[in-house]
Structure 1
Amino acid sequence: MARTTTWRRAAVASMALGALTLSACGGGDGGDGEASGEGGTITAYNCEPQNPLVPANTTEVCGSWVLEHVFTGLVQADTETYEPIPGVAESWDTEDNVTWTFELGEGWTFHNGEEVTAQTFVDTFNWAVDPENAQQSANFFDNFLGYQEVVDGDADEMEGVRAVDDHTLEIELTEPFSPLPDMLTYSAFFPMPQEAFEDIEAFSSAPIGNGRYQMDGEWEHDVQIAVERYDDYAGEEPGLPQRLEWHIYSDIDTAYMDVQSGSLDILDSVPPNRLTTLEGDFGENWTSFDTGSFSYLGFPLYQEEFQDVDVRRALSMAIDREEIIDSIFNGAQTEATSIIPEFLPEGRDGVCESCEFNPDEAADLYEEAGGPSELTVYFNSGAGHEDWTEAVANQWRQNLGIEDVTFESMEFAQYLDLHDTEEVTGPFRLGWTISYPNAQYALEPIYTTDQSSNYTGFSDEEFDNLISEANAAVEPDEASELYQQAEDILLEEMPVIPMWFSTYHVAYSDNIVGDSIQMGEGNTLTHLWKIETSES
């Protein structure tokens, strides 16, 4: 019989205690889940969220940052290990990675007092996948049993989401999927109260969650989003600051100067043009973190000239990533020598041999493979990709003797349409961000056969089988090894050229206790609730 996978809340209590004793002001948990005398206000930079503040419709950082504080899902990700830990669910079991049982803790309520039960998640998940609600993250449920029937209009609810009783939720999948607990940390799976379904438009401006913080008024578009600590939070780690304010900026340089003056506390993404003066401007009040935000150059493998793997390897080896990072980004990127981010347990440094800069070998390989003498490079416009793609093109001209490189750029929506219709004829720029901390999400959605985000057209039966085996593996170590084997195939076949993982530089004011700054899932600064202030 397969081993049962179980997480218990007892393990989390010790982790939470350790995290809260790192900084100078002391802990924020009085032992009963209630805040113990912490306070102060933290103000942080944010951009205007692209979409209304609805969990299943928020797919970008600006809105997700807010939702992470207003809601708590079934499962959370530990901010240091990235392992799934209890949220509303205090434990979960599976014997086959197909049928999962989640035991919910008691005492969880929304900010309006409504109880959070297993039926809450049934109602929320079914609402999220209903085509009439047009939620952008609906496809995250596509491996839930009954998802396709709801999408096709043949059923009103998913067969695979069931409330056994008030505190027992059962999720049945269409096939084994070991990363389910990791996936459930994503905001698309946050619960919503009945009030949301009655008036989703009103809810989207002032969402009612079950998290550490509750909205203080409505989202003031282009101005700010403010929240206050929810003192009846049922989780193990309540928020430390009493109040959080996200100040919305259209100009990030203005935010940088506001942190300098002390009128803003945190800027989580210092612009590259400010990096050379960062230490002089802030002294010790800054830090940096590698992230799981992955940039790559893909190949349209449906084009004959890129079907020879040696052409792809040569183009990769002819790029001096370090030079581009230093000259274009002022060091604000980390060379990618893998596809799986290093912060994940499966992450490995230096496993991409064809990512090493070797212009002589690249030139020989390119000539022997009969690489094309002319290239068209594609990228989405308006996002700062012009300079570095030009730098890559210059290196290809110099190191491979390519005679002519031209560029095609367009708005992102039009750019993706071009990929959908397979009209791209040369190397193209794209990126991928880890929505939940699991190697599966770094691999499966963009490299398995016929996936909607697989814009290269890459298809490899052994790779697909390894992903399926890893998803079905009960033992985490077995899954990790299989994901790494799948990554090895990608690095051998090179459907994409790994370029870099983004590095975030964080600047903060004297209001912040420096060693309390922590990063969240995928190493992005999401957890303001763990940061302490000098006002405490």
Structure 2
Amino acid sequence: MLPLWRAGMLALGVSALAVGAACAKELTIGMTSDASVVDPQAGEELNSTILFYHIYDPLVRRTADLKFVPGLAESWEIVDPTTWRFKLRPGVKFHNGEDFKASDVVFTFNRLKDTNMAELGANVASVMAVDDHTVEIKTPSPFATLPNKLAEILILSEKNAGAGPDAETASPLGTGPYKLEDWAKEDHITLEAFPEYWGGKPKIDTVTLRPITNPATRTAALLTGELDLVIDLPVRDVDRVKGENGFSVVEVPSLNNMVLALDFRDKSPTIPLETNPLKDQRVRAAMAQAIDIETIRKVIMNGFSTPSDQFVPEGSVGYLPDADFHKMYPYDPEKAKALLAEAGVGDGFEITLDATNNRYVNDAQIAQAMASMLGKVGIKVNLNLMPKSNFWGYIRNPSEKSSFIMSGWNVPSADAGAMYQTLYYSRDNDKGYGQVNRGSYSNPELDKLVDAANATADVAERDRILKDATALLLKDIPMIPLHYEQDIYGVRDGVTFEPRRDKYVWAFEMDVAE
């Protein structure tokens, strides 16, 4: 409920955040759902990641426009093809006042190996502290984009996180610009500025993250003054917010690629056939050609999406110019039926689609539309829709319950290899590859290309090799790419906000008017 004093000030056209120069600056952000975890090595999804980057820092920071700049490491150099030396920033403090040291970096990487986020460190063979402010990172083979990858690994306190398996969950401790003050599950997360932050004290003193799963309720909360910023403003509310005095709409193309993962096992758990038809490339192509991506864009997304031509966005290492998945497999129901007949399943088959109903923009409606489209070519799709709080555990790899999964994936490192070794590489526990290969896809040629890309320190050579991998994947269809969402935000006047390409809303980059 909006406090009466703040409602009154808003009615007068005065922001509650500007009551007196001495008043602490506050910001309330409307989230699509609550964070799932607070330990950055316990899981990864957008709302949790937004929380992580307020509390913790990586060695290498990713800017809003996807450039990679110094973070906790102020500089780095290549000692030899498989050895990198990182000079750590001096004078950095954890939130409890203790000094950040090289031993914390070593601990973080060692701990990562034993978590379900181990893939993040898959290209790191070892980490050694040279002294308190220098670490050497060795890679199994030359790895040209190591600094980019390190932007995804957040550094923990050895003393705090090392106290026990649940220590970081009970008492998160980082070097980031904000400290976790309070977390009332499904209601709010309160973050307080860390005055000794190495990057300078944040301009905003208190940040509140409010999970509001209902899109209409989020919009209403913005317009009544309960929220200052809304993430994922519903497409149907864009014109309404634009028409209200005191509010604006900010848009930016998303990196989040909606994809459909397909099962490659001989027997698939939700398909009542002896042999899994998805193993036949013609069936996968038929499914792609049965989905009318343009209708989804126009009718369901109200024009706020861009059909994804590949698995990674333009500008990424490994992006293949002039290739377009939806031109290779254009919407053509009759062709889809013919391909199914050629593959011996002309009578169709039954399958279950697992999808969220509160994680992505219009995710439930997209799933329903695709079920209808596939049904028209003889593929009966049973929908298994669930909140994201249940979804990630349900589809966790390897899943014995899923045959067909709709989810999103982005590549903030701007490097296709990071995605390919995670989603498409044959599951390899020794290398840490294939950890999110939920469809059990396995192609030795793809594995060789990823290995070759990871064995060169030359970015241009890596790009050439990964382009070959992209061409192979577009032909093989381990997943069907759907579209990139349009990130849409509703913003109250007086809030300084520039959206990030990676969608990691970060209050440290923001301000509010006094």
Return the TM-score normalized by structure 2.
0.80
2:191 match: secondary structure: strand
2:208 to 223, 226, 245: 245
| Alpha-carbon distance in structure 1 between the residues aligned to 2:290 and 2:415 | 31
Conserved 8 A contact 2:397-2:435: no
Conserved 8 A contact 1:41-1:242: yes
| Alpha-carbon distance in structure 1 between the residues aligned to 2:195 and 2:402 | 53
Conserved 8 A contact 2:317-2:462: no
Q: Is residue 344 of structure 1 aligned with residue 344 of structure 2?
A: no
Shift of 1:98: 2.7
Q: Which moved more, 1:429-438 or 1:286-295?
A: 429-438
Which residue is equivalent to 1:395? 373
Shift of 1:104: 1.1
Shift in CA distance, 503/258, structure 1 to aligned 2, threshold 3 Å: same
Summarize the alignment of residues 279-318 of structure 1 with structure 2, pairs less than 5 Å apart: 279-281=242-244, 285-301=248-264, 302=266, 303=275, 305-318=277-290
Q: Which moved more, 1:85-94 or 1:251-260?
A: 251-260
Shift of 1:260: 0.9
Which residue is equivalent to 1:320? 292
1:339 match: secondary structure: coil
Shift of 1:88: 1.1
Which residue is equivalent to 2:451? 468
Which residue is equivalent to 1:109? 93
| Alpha-carbon distance in structure 2 between the residues aligned to 1:78 and 1:208 | 23
Could you list the per-position Cα deviations for residues 135-154 of structure 1 after superposition, in whole angstroms to 9, with x for gaps in the alignment? 44244334443xxxxxxxxx
Q: Which moved more, 1:193-202 or 1:477-486?
A: 193-202
Could you list the per-position Cα deviations for residues 56-99 of structure 1 after superposition, in whole angstroms to 9, with x for gaps in the alignment? 2242222321221222221111221x232111111222355532
Which residue is equivalent to 2:147? 181
Summarize the alignment of residues 204-223 of structure 1 with structure 2, pairs less than 5 Å apart: 204=169, 206-215=171-180, 217-223=181-187
Q: Which amino acid aligns with 1:478?
A: E
1:56 match: secondary structure: coil
Q: Is residue 485 of structure 1 aligned with residue 468 of structure 2?
A: yes
Which residue is equivalent to 2:59? 74
Which residue is equivalent to 1:375? 349
Conserved 8 A contact 1:119-1:166: yes
Shift in CA distance, 476/429, structure 1 to aligned 2, threshold 3 Å: same
Shift of 1:528: 2.1
Conserved 8 A contact 1:435-1:441: no
Conserved 8 A contact 2:92-2:198: yes
Aligned length: 467
Shift of 1:496: 1.9
Q: Is residue 59 of structure 1 aligned with residue 44 of structure 2?
A: yes
Which residue is equivalent to 1:140? 120
Shift of 1:165: 0.8
Shift in CA distance, 343/226, structure 1 to aligned 2, threshold 3 Å: farther
Conserved 8 A contact 2:426-2:447: yes
Shift in CA distance, 58/395, structure 1 to aligned 2, threshold 3 Å: closer
Unaligned regions of 5+ residues in structure 2, if any?
1-21, 267-274, 428-433
Q: Which amino acid aligns with 1:493?
A: D
Which residue is equivalent to 1:256? 219
Return the TM-score normalized by structure 1.
0.77
1:416 to 395, 418, 439: 395
1:420 match: secondary structure: coil
After superposing on structure 2, the runs of 4+ consecutive aligned residues of structure 1 that deviate more than 4 Å are 199-203, 281-284, 345-350, 359-371
Unaligned regions of 5+ residues in structure 1, if any?
1-36, 146-159
Conserved 8 A contact 1:92-1:102: yes
Q: Which amino acid aligns with 1:322?
A: E
Conserved 8 A contact 2:312-2:410: no
Shift in CA distance, 481/95, structure 1 to aligned 2, threshold 3 Å: farther
User: Cα RMSD over matched residues?
Assistant: 3.2
Shift of 1:107: 1.6
| Alpha-carbon distance in structure 1 between the residues aligned to 2:463 and 2:23 | 40
| Alpha-carbon distance in structure 2 between the residues aligned to 1:377 and 1:386 | 17
Q: Is residue 161 of structure 1 aligned with residue 127 of structure 2?
A: yes
1:226 to 190, 204, 211: 190
| Alpha-carbon distance in structure 2 between the residues aligned to 1:233 and 1:413 | 33
Shift in CA distance, 374/295, structure 1 to aligned 2, threshold 3 Å: same
Could you list the per-position Cα deviations for residues 165-224 of structure 1 after superposition, in whole angstroms to 9, with x for gaps in the alignment? 1111012233343332222111x4323252443477575355332122334x33343443
| Alpha-carbon distance in structure 1 between the residues aligned to 2:135 and 2:23 | 34
Shift of 1:437: 4.3
Which residue is equivalent to 1:431? 408
Q: Is residue 405 of structure 1 aligned with residue 390 of structure 2?
A: no
| Alpha-carbon distance in structure 2 between the residues aligned to 1:248 and 1:527 | 16
Could you list the per-position Cα deviations for residues 313-348 of structure 1 after superposition, in whole angstroms to 9, with x for gaps in the alignment? 233123210102332333343212111123635445
Shift in CA distance, 199/322, structure 1 to aligned 2, threshold 3 Å: same
Greater fraction helix: 1
Conserved 8 A contact 1:294-1:432: yes
1:503 match: secondary structure: strand
| Alpha-carbon distance in structure 2 between the residues aligned to 1:71 and 1:386 | 33
Which residue is equivalent to 1:448? 425
Shift of 1:273: 4.8
Which residue is equivalent to 1:172? 138
Q: Which amino acid aligns with 1:446?
A: L
